[in-house]
Amino acid sequence: SCAKLFATEMLGRVADRGVQVHGGAGYINEYPVERFYRDARLLRLYEGTTQVQQLIIGRELLRQAA
């Protein structure tokens, strides 16, 4: 869960910056960054959202502390 959370959040940040670099053209299908941005959003939802991953991590930390 920690690795998935970190990787998908970082991918989202990188893809967002890539779209910003291309400006409005970053949303056009001509550029690969458009697909990266779309895929990044999908990966954040696949196998559990960020919030679900945070709950799993928190639950495991609490279990270890007990």
Query: Using the 8-state DSSP alphabet, how is residue 49 labeled?
Result: -
Our answer to whether residue 9 is catalytic in this structure is no
**Cα–Cα dist 29/41, whole Å:** 16
Helix axes 2-22, 32-45, angle to 10 degrees: 150
Please give the CATH superfamily to which domain 1-65 belongs: Butyryl-CoA Dehydrogenase, subunit A, domain 3 (1.20.140.10)
Taking only the tens place, the pLDDT of each residue in 3-46 is 999 999 999 999 999 999 988 787 777 888 888 898 998 888 88
Q: How many Cβ atoms sit within 10 Å of the Cβ of residue 14?
A: 13
Catalytic choice (9, 34, 47, 60): 47
Q: What is the pTM of this model?
A: 0.76
